[in-house]
Amino acid sequence: MESIVTVNKITPLEHPVLESIKNRWSPRAFAKTPITEEKVKILLEAGRWAPSASNIQPWRVIWGIKGTKMYDRIFDCLDDFNQIWAANAELLWINAFKKTMEKNDKENFHALHDLGLFMGNVIHQANSMGIATHQMAGVKFKKAQDEFKFPDDYHVTTAVAFGYYGGNPDDLPEDLKKQELKKMRERKEQHEFAFNGNFQTKK
């Protein structure tokens, strides 16, 4: 039986929030517990009910479970750095969005925002199931566009690695292991990004 390694993170809250938000983080090492297709469908269902401008739902997802050809195709579209650790994931997927509105060729200015709302739902659902997510900007976008035959009207944006919490940091190279074991989480303080008045530049 696999030994579960728990990395305890410290989240310095200024105000109380949901435990699922407080405890969420993005590991690069995952437990070697398979994610079933049924679990994938649950994650997609959570995302499906995200809000979107005019209910257009511009998000598109390509997914693959570890041990399948789809997983390998997605993995090959990750940049070299992410390939160092992403093979630890039990599920990989690629996010894209439709760039234009449904009824005309007008730009859907809110599509990227809506994809973010979709992933917010997915992450919240995943965390409730003990599944960690690590989102990646490091994707070979053009390669993924061609590999999965997205039309020009779609833009590939990010990839996501999924796996159950409890991975062994020893599975990572030393520099990434050090990051994995870092206890204190960091975020900007509220006053640096939220203003009850005019916008302020914060260096």
Q: What are phi and psi of 65, to 5 degrees?
A: -90, 145
Query: What is the pLDDT at residue 203?
Result: 64
The neighbouring-strand residues paired with 60 are 96
Per CATH, the homologous superfamily of domain 24-165 is NADH Oxidase (3.40.109.10)
pLDDT 10s per residue in the chain (203 long)? 344 456 789 999 999 999 989 999 999 999 999 999 999 999 999 999 999 999 999 999 999 999 999 999 999 999 999 999 999 999 999 999 999 998 778 999 999 999 999 999 999 999 999 999 999 999 999 999 999 999 999 999 999 999 999 999 999 999 999 999 999 999 999 999 999 999 988 76
Q: What is the pLDDT at residue 5?
A: 53
Q: Which two tokens stand for residue 95?
A: 């996010």
> What are 85's two structure tokens?
């650790």
Q: How far apart are CA 161 and CA 170, in angstroms?
A: 18
Whole-angstrom distance, CA of residue 40 vs CA of residue 63: 9
Q: Is the pTM of this model over 0.85?
A: yes
Structure tokens at 169: 């940091």
Rounded distance between C-alpha atoms, residue 174 and residue 158, angstroms = 25
- The DSSP string of 91-140 is EEEEEEEE-B-SSSS-B-TTHHHHHHHHHHHHHHHHHHTTEEEEEES-B-
